[in-house]
Each structure stands twice: as C-alpha cells, then as structure tokens.
Amino acid sequence: MYDFRKSVVYQIYPKSFCDTNGDGLGDLRGVTAKLDYLKTLGVDYIWMTPFFVSPQCDNGYDVADYRNIDPRFGTMEDFETLCREAKARDIRVMLDMVFNHTSTYHQWFQKALEGDPVYQDYYIFRPGKDDGSAPTNWESKFGGGVWEYVEKFDEYYLHLFDVTQPDLNWDNEEVRKELQKVIRFWMGKGVKGFRFDV
C-alpha cells in the first residue's frame, strides 16, 4: 500500500516549466521530458496545475472544459504519454481540480445564460434586493462585489473570485454527479491523485 503521507509532491505549473516546441510556453511534452530529472529528486507525485481548456483569465483556474487539454499545452495523447512514462518511473500524476467555479465560457454556464433552468441551477443565481441592488455586500477575492447582474433574468450570479468564474451550486446533486464523472474520467487516464482548489 502506498503511503501518501510520506510522499514527496512536486508542483508543476506547465506554462512555465519546459517548452518543447519553441512557442514560449511550457507544455505537457516538456513535463515528460523532465521525468528522469524529477525521479533523481525523489519525487513521488507530480502535482499538475490546470492545463484544461481555458480562456486564461485566471491562469487556467477558470476552466471551460474539464475533459479536454488546452491546445497550448498539447494533446490528450501527450497527457496519456506523460502518465504512462511517469508510471514507468514510479511517479504518480496528481491533478489540480477547480470545482468551486467554472469559466463563463463553460458550456454549462452558456446554457444557463440561454435560459435553460437545468443549467441555471448548476450555478447560484439570486434576485437582488427590493431596491435592485446586489443580494449581499460580500466582497470578491479579486476585489469588488461577488454578484454580477444579468439583465435578461433580472438576477445576479455569484462569483467569489473573478467575474468570469461563476460559482457552482454544490447543493445541486446533479452538479456533484457531473464532477464525480470528471474525476472518474481522469482516473481512467491513469491519474492517481487530486488536489481540490478552493
């Protein structure tokens, strides 16, 4: 049995780690290229910060698609190769999963903005106060209020972080099921650990 408590975890921010194609950005192939070096350091897990499809308003922590690789970092084949080569060196891959919110570009939020009640309930929409102001005076981690007005619905959506990062509604069982499916998807690719952001 592998004891995670005794593991050495090495965090990798792919964008600045190793560029293999000369475009100025690190990529998944760059991580694979450095696995032998990481092994000499005694690394047990590589903790990969988000490389999912994202508009990059928050350095990848605004995920637009949980199941696909942002092309700037490579392909799914590149990721599968990384997992396979890491396993051959007894290094496990751990992913940074951002499940507090999605990007406003995520298909769920786009469907919510189209008025689909199923997907509106994936997020936290609330009516304003009687005077039309935001539901609360809470402040965002990024500054300003946490509520963004959507004129079409005469309601506000919650974003504890950037305005482009609407909070998911964890009280909705369907949201939880969808995120469980995401975890199983990556486990099927060979991922052995997860770090849950915020």
Distance CA 51, CA 28 (A): 9
pLDDT digits (tens, 9 = 90+) for 113-162: 999 999 999 999 999 999 999 999 999 999 999 999 999 999 999 999 99
Q: What percent of the chain has pLDDT over 70?
A: 99
Give the global pTM: 0.92
pLDDT at 104: 98
pLDDT score of 27 more than 70: yes
Once rounded to an integer, what is the mean pLDDT over residues 102-117?
98
pLDDT at 2: 66
Once rounded to an integer, what is the mean pLDDT over residues 96-110?
97
Q: What percent of the chain has pLDDT over 90?
A: 95
One-letter-per-residue 3-state SS of 124-185:
CEECCCCCCCCCCCCECCCCCECEEEECCCCEEEECCCCCCCCEECCCCHHHHHHHHHHHHH
Once rounded to an integer, what is the mean pLDDT over residues 41-66?
96
pLDDT digits (tens, 9 = 90+) for 150-196: 999 999 999 999 999 999 999 999 999 999 999 999 999 999 999 99
Confidence of residue 1 (pLDDT cuts 50, 70, 90): low
Distance CA 64, CA 133 (A): 29
- The per-residue pLDDT of the chain, averaged, comes to 96
Once rounded to an integer, what is the mean pLDDT over residues 74-93?
97
pLDDT at 197: 87
pLDDT score of 99 more than 80: yes
What CA–CA distances, in Å, run from 111 to 8, 104, 108, 116, 152? 41, 10, 5, 6, 13
